[in-house]
Amino acid sequence: MTASHREKRTDFYKDISAFWHNLYDMEYALLDIKMETRETVSEIREASKRVYAIFDKTADLLRELEDDTLLELGYPEESLSYITFKSIPQECIIGRFDFVVGEGEIKLLEFNSDTPTFIKELYHVNEKVCRYFDCPNPNVGMEEQLAKELKRGLLSSWKSLQREGEAKIVFTSHVDHEEDYLTTRYIQELAGVPSEYVSLDRLQIRDDGLYTPDGERIDVLYRQTYPVEHLVDDRDPMTKEKVGQELLQMAVEKKLAILNPPSSFLLQSKGVQALIWGLHEEGSPFFTEQEHRWIERYFLPTYLDSETFEEDGLTYVQKPAFGREGDTVKILEATGKVLLEDKNETYKQTLPVYQKFCPLPVSVITTDEGEKEASLMVGSFIINGNPGAIGIRAGNAITDNESYFLPVGIQEK
């Protein structure tokens, strides 16, 4: 069975162009499908819309906070003037919520608002897998919605600069990272506007703006996969100048528009979830009664210290305010004993937040090696405030970069 399944999977995915069905020389995209009812899909979308409304409202509050408070929420000092700058009406063009979905509950783990990946998988590939398994695709029509909102975001960004003529739009990423590069090219193609791809290392910073290697001044820079918390530390390898910070300053001075916009990084810190939960616990009038009910229903208790969980004898998760792929995440008992931790510690210096532990549901998946049990986390996109495509990462109890992409189909009654 194993060899034939491997062959079937390879045969199936080799027909999908510019897609990474294997990553880091390991199986990534499964030739398997998780069936969900229409009702569950609809509840995930409803949760996404409501949770986004809470974040959207909180963004205005974050802009009013003192710098000291923003630092306490984990933002790098170098990013402060950038993140409170409102460049376009949209807070976030492409964002992704990570949910635990099980036993009639949907709980938010985190919001990847700045540089979410998992896009081509859910918007393009999921449809093909549904056809293979002959079932309806929960993400039908979503690719068109994404294309429309990308165009709208690019147009808003161009208008924000108040320049004459045609916009010079550039899409960028690390060219040597297959997933980042192909995700960015997919989005560029989907946007369907005159544009150019230039790898990050070939962008040229000058006094009056950002330029392509051919000397054309860039108006709008689309960086789908390069996080601001890495950008602020970026230096020119030759001159040691802080090129990342110069780039952010250009956005503030309107020499350049950057997408996702600055506000999407403002919502990326997991410290924001601690702020939202704190306001909810004290019954703050900042949120309406309806919003308080949504927070109670979808958010997990999240704090900037572990005291509450230790006093109440609860298992909790320690995670970095800005972290990705499960890196530097620990699951701890109330006594402080580590139950499980990710082997990577890239974000050790980042402010930690503490969240009530909510176990991921476990299911059997079919891989090239045969059947195995995996923990399932639901990714649900939010596109300019509207619910988008959904899909599943299947892997360890802490979802890391070795997780599989598990497509989703609709279970017809």
Q: What is the pLDDT of residues 123-151, one digit of tens each?
A: 999 999 999 999 999 999 999 999 999 99
Structure confidence at residue 350 (pLDDT): 81
Phi/psi at 395 (5° precision): -175, -135
pLDDT at 83: 87
- Mean pLDDT of the region 1-21: 91
Residue 70 has what pLDDT?
A: 95
Q: What pLDDT band is residue 114 in, cutting at 50, 70 and 90?
A: very high
> What is the percent of the chain where pLDDT is above 70?
98
Alpha carbon distance 348, 328 (integer Å): 6
- Each residue's pLDDT tens digit, 245-271: 998 999 999 999 999 998 899 999 999
Calculate ∠ Cα 49-34-122, nearest 5°: 50
Residue with tokens 């059997």: 364
**pLDDT tens profile 229-247:** 888 888 888 888 888 899 8
Helix ranges restricted to H, 96-166: 119-120, 126-132, 142-160
Closest to 18 measured CA to CA, from 140, 120, 144: 120
Residue 210, strand partner residues: 205
pLDDT, the chain, mean? 94
Give pLDDT tens digits for 43-79. Answer: 999 999 999 999 999 999 999 999 999 999 999 998 9
Asked whether residue 202 carries a pLDDT value surpassing 80, the answer given is: yes
What φ, ψ does residue 172 adopt, rounded to 5°? -140, 155
In the structure, what pLDDT confidence band is assigned to residue 325 with cuts at 50, 70 and 90?
A: low
